[in-house]
Amino acid sequence: MGFIEGVHRDQLTMFPESLDGYVGDDNPVRFVDAFVDSLDLQ
């Protein structure tokens, strides 16, 4: 067995690391997300 080789730390990725990277700061979906998070669903 050998070591697990990862990617080089300076390598650029083709996609953002999370979905949050796809959504702009002024996108209305941010409001919907904040509203849903504020609901008490218990």
| Segment 17-27, tens digit of pLDDT | 788 888 899 99
Which domain covers residue 37, as residue numbers? 1-42
Rg (CA), the chain: 18
The pLDDT, as a whole number, for residue 28 is 94
| Segment 1-42, tens digit of pLDDT | 677 777 777 777 777 778 888 889 999 999 999 999 999 988
The pLDDT, as a whole number, for residue 23 is 87
Q: For residue 3, how many C-alpha atoms fall within 13 Å in the half-sphere facing its CB? A: 3
The pLDDT, as a whole number, for residue 9 is 72
| Distance separating alpha carbons of residues 2 and 41, to the nearest angstrom | 48
The pLDDT, as a whole number, for residue 1 is 67
How many domains are contained in the chain? 1
The pLDDT, as a whole number, for residue 40 is 93
Task: State which amino acid sits at residue 26.
Answer: D
User: DSSP string of 7-24?
Assistant: --TTPPPSS-SSGGGGS-
